[in-house]
Every structure is written in C-alpha cells, then in structure tokens.
C-alpha cells in the first residue's frame, strides 16, 4: 500500500517545497509494514575464521543485514557483533559509529589506547569504551576479541556518536575495565547466595560509575555474564529484547528456541530473537558461562521489558 501524495492546495501561493514533501497514510495501511523476523542463528564459520591459524589482523563481522533487509551491517536491528583477530605484535585501530563499545578478551593479552585513555587487558577481561572515538588495540600475544556496538541503532536514525562520550542523559561514559578474576568472584558469590534460587538466573550484571543509576553498562545495551550449573535448566521464558550470546563454555549445553534445539559450541555467538520462547540446558559435567548483550536498556527505559516465564 502506498501513501497518499500531498494534494495540491487550492491556493497555489500556499504550496511550497515543504508542503510537497508531505505524505499521508491512514490506520488501514500505515501499520501494514512487514519486517523480516530476527532469525535464530549461531555463527560458527565466523568463529572458525577468527581462530584459524592463517587469519590475519582484522575484524570479522557477524552480519545478518541481508536477512533483516537492512542497508547497514547488523546482527540484530540495534546491535552489531564482531570478532577481532590481532596477531602478536600487530595493532588494530577502530572508530565505530556507535555511542558505546563492549569488548570481551577471548584469547591473548594487549592494550588499548585512545585520545586520553590507555588500559591493558588479558584473557577473561571485559571492557567498555565510549563510541565515536578512535581506539588502537595492540596485541602482546595472539589475540581474539569479541566486540559489540550499537552501530545499527545510530545508522537507523542517521545519527553521529555523542561528542566526548556524552550520552545526553547520564553524564559522560568513560572507559571501564572489568578484570576476569573479579567477574569470576562476583559469579561465585551469586552461586553461594541463599537467595540465588529466587533470581531469574545466576548472572553478573555489568554497570559503571556513570551508569550506576540505570544499573546497565550503556543506555540501550545491557551486558550480563550468565551461568548455568551442571545438570540445571533455565526454564522457558521470553523478553522483548533480542539477545546476542557469546558461549564461553559449551560442554553438554544447548538451548531450545521456538521449539528448535541449538547445540552450544565454544566461543560461537548465538542470536535469540526478541519475544521468542527459549530455555537453556546444561547436561555437561561443569558450570557453563555465557556472555549476553541485549538491547534491553531501551526496553527498561520504556517500561516494556516484557520478561515472563512460560507455563
């Protein structure tokens, strides 16, 4: 269905280039747009490329834009994930059109430098960086990083990143380092908490000094280190946000999403569609951990998270 073009005004003197741009729909056709659904997906070939011995320094996008019918790279409509491979002694510079960047160090150690900041990292660490800046990532050993940004969100609105990391509502976003050993300690404390059984999952939620009031790492993206003990199930549930999940451990682990079983594979990335009923299972001998980025901050702000368990 098409919009009604702007009708010519009875008084031609009132017609301008601004009035000619107008288009009009009605309640019968305005909501007839059908977007392709966000698919269930697991990125295996891209994971294999990231870890292949012959792969050189560079980025490997986890791009579903063709399926989503978007004109810009995207893993989900608001999130773009990548692997970054940096060979020992090499550097990789990035300048993403995003307001925030999340990194997890899968392998190796190195450092990141920007206009005013420099920090060192190692395997197991997680990092948050303000978007819209040039960052240079240097490898002291062979490195594989997992990188997530909100580039599709800005591309959708044709926006540029905030200046100096300022997000407009919560002060200035600054670089934050979450050491791997501290993350593990926080996770262990949750498993020992007598109230853990009442929580929706055994998860560490990442935030920062400037984002503390909203209890998220970024105004629209959320980040959690979730875990599932051996022999346990995270029962069927749904939420309005899409989830992009890095599977850090995989033995005996799988998900059932919209009735389809998706077997976990270590260091692969899995997409769970928004609103999809899904559950997680660990039939292996040890704790499984998985790092989840969602566009959940957007839904928390709009009061529409829509989390619910299925009967």
Tell me: the pLDDT tens digits for 122-148? Answer: 999 999 999 999 999 999 999 999 999
Tell me the C-alpha distance between 101 and 97, whole Å. Answer: 10
Question: Which tokens belong to 20?
Answer: 């000619």
Q: Where are the domains of the chain?
A: 1-30, 41-309
Phi-psi region of 124 (alpha: psi -120 to 50; beta: other; left: phi over 0): left
In 3D, which of 237, 258, 271, 204 has the Cα closest to residue 41?
Answer: 271
What's residue 170's pLDDT?
45
Give the contacts of 211 (CB within 8 A, at least 6 positions apart): 170, 173, 217, 218, 219
Tell me: the pLDDT tens digits for 158-211? Answer: 999 987 656 544 457 899 999 999 999 999 999 998 877 777 789 999 999 989
Kindly tell me if the per-residue pLDDT of 11 is higher than 80.
no
Report pTM. 0.92
Least confident of 112-121, 175-184, 233-242: 112-121
Tell me the C-alpha distance between 122 and 142, whole Å. Answer: 11
> Cα–Cα distances in Å, from 191 out to 109, 188, 197, 223, 275?
28, 5, 9, 19, 28
Tell me the C-alpha distance between 41 and 36, whole Å. Answer: 14
Residue 105 in contact with residue 122, Cβ under 8 Å? yes
Classify domain 41-309 at the CATH topology level. Jelly Rolls (2.60.120)
Tell me the C-alpha distance between 6 and 129, whole Å. Answer: 46
Residue 306 in contact with residue 299, Cβ under 8 Å? yes
In 3D, which of 238, 233, 247 has the Cα closest to residue 276?
Answer: 238
pLDDT (average), residues 19-43: 91
Q: What is the largest CA-CA distance in the chain?
A: 79
What's residue 4's pLDDT?
61
């Amino acid at each position: 269905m098409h919009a009604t073009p702007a009708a010519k005004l009875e008084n031609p003197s009132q017609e301008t280039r601004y009035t000619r741009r107008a288009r009009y729909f009605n309640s019968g056709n305005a909501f007839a747009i059908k977007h392709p659904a966000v698919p269930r997906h697991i990125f295996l070939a891209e994971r294999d490329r990231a870890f292949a011995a012959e792969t050189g320094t560079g980025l490997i996008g986890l791009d579903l834009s063709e399926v989503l019918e978007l004109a810009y790279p995207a893993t989900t409509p608001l999130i773009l994930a990548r692997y970054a491979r940096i060979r020992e002694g090499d550097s990789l510079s990035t300048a993403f059109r995003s307001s925030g960047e999340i990194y997890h160090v899968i392998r190796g150690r190195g450092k990141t430098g920007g206009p005013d900041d420099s920090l060192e990292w190692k395997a197991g660490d997680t990092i948050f960086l303000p978007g819209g800046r040039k960052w240079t990532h240097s490898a002291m050993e062979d490195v594989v990083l997992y990188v997530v940004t909100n580039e599709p969100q800005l591309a959708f609105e044709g926006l540029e990143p905030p200046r100096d990391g300022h997000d407009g509502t919560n002060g200035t976003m600054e670089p934050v380092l979450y050491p791997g050993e501290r993350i593990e300690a926080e996770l262990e404390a949750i498993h020992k908490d007598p109230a853990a059984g009442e929580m929706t999952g055994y998860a560490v939620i990442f935030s920062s000094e400037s984002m503390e009031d909203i209890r998220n790492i970024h105004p629209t993206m959320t980040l959690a280190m979730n875990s599932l003990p051996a022999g346990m199930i995270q029962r069927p549930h749904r939420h309005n946000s899409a989830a992009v999940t890095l599977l850090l451990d995989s033995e005996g682990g799988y998900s059932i999403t919209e009735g389809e079983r998706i077997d976990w594979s270590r260091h692969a990335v899995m997409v769970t569609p928004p609103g999809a009923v899904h559950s997680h299972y660990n039939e292996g001998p040890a704790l499984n951990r998985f790092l989840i980025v969602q566009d959940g901050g957007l839904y928390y702000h709009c009061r529409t998270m829509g989390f619910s368990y299925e009967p």
